[in-house]
Amino acid sequence: MLVFHSPLSLLHDPPHEILSGCLQPYFESPERYYRILSALVGPTLSSAAAAATAAGSHVGPWRAEERRLEWTRDEVLTSELDRAVRAVHDGEYLDFLREIYDEWVAEGGSKDAALPETFLRGDMLLEPASVGDGSDGKGSAIARIGRHSFDLSAPITADTYICALASTRVALSALSALLDPDSPSPRRGVFALCRPPGHHATPRLCGGYCFLNSAAVAAREAQRLLAERRAPPTPGGGGTSDMPRVAVLDVDYHHGNGTSQTFYADPSVLYVSLHGSPDYPYYTGAASEEGAPGAEGTNVNVPLPLGTDDDAYVEALERAVDRVRDWGPEVLVVSYVSHAPPSSVLTPPPSLSRSGQARAHRPEPDLTRPTNPRARARAASASTPSVATR
């Protein structure tokens, strides 16, 4: 497996966040980038692979080949990357990410990082139609950040925008390798080490350590690339029914609200999420969220109670895998996020045991259409420093 990463991922390093009412050191730190990379391409087995090997299971050691992407800050944003990001994210939001830190500091905000003080909510407006006429705080950086954030765990520094772009380009670089028609042999999977992570970022909001949704951008770009290679559409064709099918399997501990929202009304993208419940982001991830009218059944949430044990988790994962297989995607994007031990405030007990991780991480059969064997991309991220298992 090819492992893609960029050292620019280290630039985003806020000193703090507000968590559980306290000012705390930033959990999603550069340290986890080193730990995940070491687990993937280092000389030792990952913890899950080691546990599986000890148990006699056919998992690991990982045979990974590193792809270190050396870009300068000025080289990151290309026209291709800009097009791909704008296929998911709103242009006003992208302007916000690019401009907000300098505006924040110019207004007297802390140079450490920009964080919201007030959040824009529709139900607090006396005249909803007035939004956009200047009374919504768009002229103030301190107010503007509350317009495009949904929590206090996404502080924005001078390097956040460039770092988020680099993270997304890492995912697209992995996708390009996966679908490369000139590759000497089909690849069953690639791994993109994306930092900052992405699956909580919506088209217009940052939060949950996420700024640009790398998994969603990769999924949408996969559709574009596959569509370009198809024969010309039949007369009268067009629309989402003619789009190549793509699936996103999200096995982060938390629900990927951003990815879910991005594709909620799109019948050509299947989103399947396994996540702890009740837990962050609290207001999304219910099993009743099945997709908007016209896309029913393409959003599949599997909320798991906090007492879920190994057997129940693996059974739920197998059902999710079956759902993806039945969907028959041409490309599968796996959002995998490595979390901290059970003592973490972000991941309350219980969590998977080592043997449970080994069972969950065993090599899966090809879940994509037989006509497209190069079809699995993994976008990895993490919320706390930990040893990644994938």
Structure tokens at 301: 């949430």
Catalytically annotated residue among 5, 12, 89, 200: 200
Q: Which of 45, 370, 60, 2 is nearest to 180 (CA)?
A: 2
Query: Tokens for 331?
Result: 């490309």
Taking the C-alpha atoms of residue 77 and residue 75, their distance in angstroms, rounded to an integer, is: 6
Q: Is the pLDDT of residue 140 over 70?
A: yes
Q: What is the mean pLDDT of residues 23-29?
A: 94
Q: What is the pLDDT of residues 236-266, one digit of tens each?
A: 555 656 899 999 999 999 999 999 999 999 9
Question: Residue 212: what residue type?
Answer: L
pLDDT exceeds cutoff 50 at 58: no
**Roughly what angle, to the nearest 10 degrees, separates helices 160-178 and 91-106?**
150
Predicted pLDDT of residue 389: 26
The answer to whether residues 321 and 367 touch, using CB atoms and an 8 Å cutoff, is yes
pLDDT surpasses 60 at 347? no
Q: What is the pLDDT of residue 179?
A: 92
Alpha helical stretches, state H, 131-288 = 141-147, 160-178, 214-229, 257-263
Above 90 in pLDDT, residue 382? no
The per-residue pLDDT for 125 is 83
90, pLDDT greater than 50: yes
Please write the tens of the pLDDT for every residue from 91-105: 999 999 999 999 999
Domain formed by 2-69+167-382, architecture: 3-Layer(aba) Sandwich (3.40)
Residue 243: C-alpha distances to residues 73, 106, 179, 204 (Å): 34, 45, 16, 24
Partners of residue 260 on adjacent β-strands: none
Domain ranges of the chain: 2-69+167-382
Is 200 an annotated catalytic residue? yes
The predicted model scores a pTM of 0.86
Q: Do the Cβ atoms of 175 and 80 come closer than 8 Å? A: no
Give percent above pLDDT 70 in the chain. 74
What tens digit of pLDDT does each residue of 269-320 get?
Answer: 999 999 999 999 999 999 999 999 999 999 999 999 988 888 999 999 999 9
